[in-house]
Structure 1
Amino acid sequence: MFVRRGPGLVGMAARTAVVAGTATAVSGKVARKQQSKYAEQDAEHVQQQAAAPAQGGGEPDYVAELQQLAKLKEQGIITEEEFEAKKKQALGI
C-alpha cells in the first residue's frame, strides 16, 4: 500500500510559488519606501544647496538691494533723501 507523507510535488510547487510571491511583494514595498525616503532627502539637500549661496554668500547682493530700494522710492514708500541715504549705507559710502 502507498502512503503519502507530505503535500506532494504539486503542493510543494504551489507553496514555493506563494512564498516567492510574498517575498517579492514585501521586497517591492520596502524598495518603494526606501526610494521615497531617499527622494525626500535628495529634495531637502537640493533646497539646502540652493539656499546656502543666498544666505551666506559672504558678499551682499548690491544690485538686488538697490533695485528694491528704487522700487520703494517709485512707489512713494521712501523719499529721495531716504533712498540716497540707504544707497550710501548699502554701498558703504
Structure 2
Amino acid sequence: AQQQALAAQAAQQQALPAPAEPAGDSFDEQLIKIQKLSAMKDQGLLTEEEFQAKKRQILGI
C-alpha cells in the first residue's frame, strides 16, 4: 500500500509541472495550482513540507 501511495505521489508531482517563470502565472492560475496541491496534501499524497515548498515555488518566493 505504501509503494502504491508513493507511486501515486510521484505521478501527481509529474502532473504538476514546475512553472519556468512563476511570476508569469496569473493570480487565478497560482490559486488553482495551490488548491490542487492542498487537495493532494489532504489525500496524504504530499507532506506539509512538500506542500509548502511547492507553494513557495508557485508563488515565486
TM class by shorter-chain length? 0.5 to 0.7
Unaligned stretches of 5+ in structure 1?
Answer: 1-57
**Higher RCO (CA < 8 A, seq sep 6+):** 2
* Aligned CA-pair RMSD: 1.2
The runs of at least 4 aligned residues of structure 1 exceeding 2 Å deviation read none
The percentage of counterpart residues that share the same residue type is 50
Q: Which structure's CA Rg is the greater one? A: 1
- CA–CA distance in 1 between the matches of 2:25 and 2:49? 25
TM-score (norm. length: structure 1): 0.37
Moved more, 59-68 or 75-84: 59-68
Aligned counterpart, 2:45: 77
Correspondence list, 1:1-93, <5 A: 59-60=25-26, 61-93=29-61
Spell out, residue by residue over 1:36-56, the C-alpha distance to the aligned partner (whole angstroms, 9 max, x if none). Answer: xxxxxxxxxxxxxxxxxxxxx
Spell out, residue by residue over 1:45-72, the C-alpha distance to the aligned partner (whole angstroms, 9 max, x if none). Answer: xxxxxxxxxxxxx534001000000000
* Structure (1 or 2) with the greater helix fraction: 1
TM-score (norm. length: structure 2): 0.55
